[in-house]
């Protein structure tokens, strides 16, 4: 998984929690969220020159984003 794919996934998930100015959820469907997140990543590539986006993401970051098991709270 590249850093760009990881960022796109994170942006897509963040868009699930977006509210408008009146405080109502936007209720974007998954396809729309994925499209918006992909366009944001492409804008970063085009204007930011972020070569790092094509590098492999750190394995721990990718695991956290995809695996729900890593989000579990472990007792001390």
Digitized pLDDT (tens) for each residue of the chain, 76 residues in all: 888 999 999 999 999 988 888 888 888 899 999 999 999 999 988 887 777 888 888 876 544 444 433 333 334 3
Q: With 0.85 as the threshold, say if the pTM is over it.
A: no
Confidence at residue 30, expressed as pLDDT on a 0 to 100 scale: 92
For the chain, how many structural domains are there in total?
A: 1
76 falls within a domain: no
Q: Is 27 helix (H, G, I), strand (E, B) or coil?
A: coil
Confidence at residue 61, expressed as pLDDT on a 0 to 100 scale: 52
* CA atoms in the 13 A half-sphere facing the CB of 69: 4
39 falls within a domain: yes
Task: Give 14: exposed, middle or buried? Use CB within 10 Å, 0-12, 13-18, 19+.
Answer: exposed
Confidence at residue 31, expressed as pLDDT on a 0 to 100 scale: 94
Confidence at residue 14, expressed as pLDDT on a 0 to 100 scale: 92
Residue 12, domain extent: 3-71
13 falls within a domain: yes
What spatial distance separates the first Cα and last Cα of the chain, rounded to whole Å? 31
Q: Phi/psi of residue 68, each to 5°?
A: -75, -20
């Amino acid at each position: 998984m590249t850093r760009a794919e990881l960022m796109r996934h994170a942006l897509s998930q963040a868009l699930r929690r977006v509210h408008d100015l009146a405080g109502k959820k936007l209720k974007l469907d998954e396809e729309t969220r994925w499209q918006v997140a992909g366009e944001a990543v492409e804008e970063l590539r085009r204007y930011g020159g972020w070569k790092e986006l094509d590098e492999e993401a750190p394995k721990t970051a990718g695991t956290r984003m995809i695996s729900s098991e890593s989000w579990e709270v472990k007792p001390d």
